[in-house]
Amino acid sequence: MIADVYIELKEGVTDPEGEATKKALKLLGFNNVKSVSTRKVFRIEIDENDKEKAEEEIRQMCEKLLANPVIQKYRINWIS
């Protein structure tokens, strides 16, 4: 099974990369830009047919390595 794991900043956490990108886009004349935020995506292929088990395993991965709960949250999006 394949999942995309999105690591995002929690609401209220400053996102310097997003802010800087927004500024740059405005400088390029994209005045309609309202906000820019960044996220990181890991595509994980997992050898498991039971979706529930697979989801639990990915949850563990997020908690043990992929996300720092102090500022980050995660979201799993199943591709197949």
Q: Does 41 bind another protein (CB under 8 A)?
A: no
Looking at the Cβ atoms of 48 and 73, the one nearer to another protein is 73
The DSSP string of 31-46 is TT------EEEEEEE-
d(CA 76, CA 56): 11
Rounded distance, CA 65 to CA 19, Å?
26
| Beta carbon nearer to another protein, 35 or 49 | 35
**Under the criterion CB under 8 A, does residue 64 sit at the interface with another protein?**
yes
Question: Where does this chain bind another protein (CB under 8 A)?
Answer: 10, 12-14, 16-17, 19-20, 23-24, 27, 63-66, 68-71
